[in-house]
Amino acid sequence: MTKRLRKWAEVFSRPQTRVGLDIGSSTIKLIQLEQRAGRYRLKRFSVRRLESTVVEEASIHQSSGLKAVLSDLVHECGLLGSPVAISVSGPSVMVKRIRVSGVTEDALDEYLTWEGHQYIPYDMNDIYFDYWILPQPRPAPKELELVLVAAKQQVVESRRTLLEEIGVHPIVCDVDGLALLKTIMRTRRASRGQSFAVANVGAGGMNIIFVADEQPLVIRDVMYEDTSSHQNAGDAVAVEGSVWQGSFQARTDSPENRSARAENVREIKCCFESVLERYPKLEVEKLFLCGGQSNDPQLRTELQDALGIPALPFNPFEEIECSADRRDRLWASAHLGGVAVGLALHQDNHG
């Protein structure tokens, strides 16, 4: 049987809401959306900060502290027994745009099962894989272009086991970059015909996505070599509680923040240079920013100076309905929700 990343064999009843759970290296974000007549309405957006950040993947999946925070969150939100969409990222994940010649769509599963080692730098027996076939120009070419995704089984299964132990059912496992891309392509800011980039800047690393012709061109995960300055820099906003309880914190320009900002600018600029060298005709019109460390005006200013294009905050909640009394608080922490929203929007997130 082909190993696919999208769904496991269990089948659960269709839920009333869609739940996305983004487990980061320093925070957990949970969102519940209700779908009505093709539109989505916010039911809940919860953020929990992990007291002791553990960036190493093997450690964070086995962390008793993480399990306790997740368990409290699930019980508070009344999600015991509910299906959820989750994601993974980091060095155990690969996302690559490839071309395959002489293979039909119906034969792709078998082809990648036997020939995936040509594209995936891991033992095929140790990974789950999935793919996304990109729209083809007409007349149809003799080759297929697709986004190939692979993740180590150990990482996926560790996260799955952890969540099942606290009483929820992970029915979708995506990767952070593609979950964020789903959110991006649904918003008004991702205008037709534009080429743009998105950087999801977190405490342990970042996801960078380049979009051209409304399709992903490059998706990269960047992990920081030294996370200490990023962990100490903190988020510009702290949100605790199930529905917007807690205090907002102002960002101070501490040495940790300056060091983290400098590394973020350096990594993003380096990624831009690499992509533009590979695609010299690509004209990136703007950069959107999200993630815990993105809500820093000085970061946006320095990126604009370094790249010569606008660096703008990305709001994943733009086209999601919510009550007026929540909107200001929701907007204040919109930078935290990009991946979680994409998980809740996943087409297989039905239970």
DSSP string, 7-29: --S---PPPSSEEEEEE-SSEEE
Q: For strands 286-290 and 311-313, give the pairing.
A: parallel
Q: Tokens in use for 107?
A: 């034969």
> In tens digits, what is the pLDDT along the chain, a chain of 351 residues?
445 554 443 333 344 578 999 998 888 999 999 987 778 999 999 999 887 544 344 455 557 788 889 999 999 999 999 999 999 988 889 999 999 998 988 999 999 999 999 999 999 999 999 998 988 776 667 789 999 999 999 999 999 999 999 999 999 999 999 999 989 888 755 566 789 999 999 888 899 999 998 888 999 988 876 555 445 544 434 343 334 433 334 456 778 888 889 999 999 999 999 999 999 999 999 999 999 889 888 999 999 999 999 999 999 998 899 888 888 888 888 999 999 999 999 865 554
pTM for the whole thing? 0.84
CB atoms within 10 A of CB 219: 24
What helix, strand, coil percent values describe the chain, rounded to 5?
Answer: 35, 30, 35
Residue pair 172/86 in contact (Cβ under 8 Å)? The answer is yes
Domains of the chain: 18-344 (3.30.420.380)
Q: Is 200 exposed, middle or buried (0-12, 13-18, 19+ CB in 10 A)?
A: buried
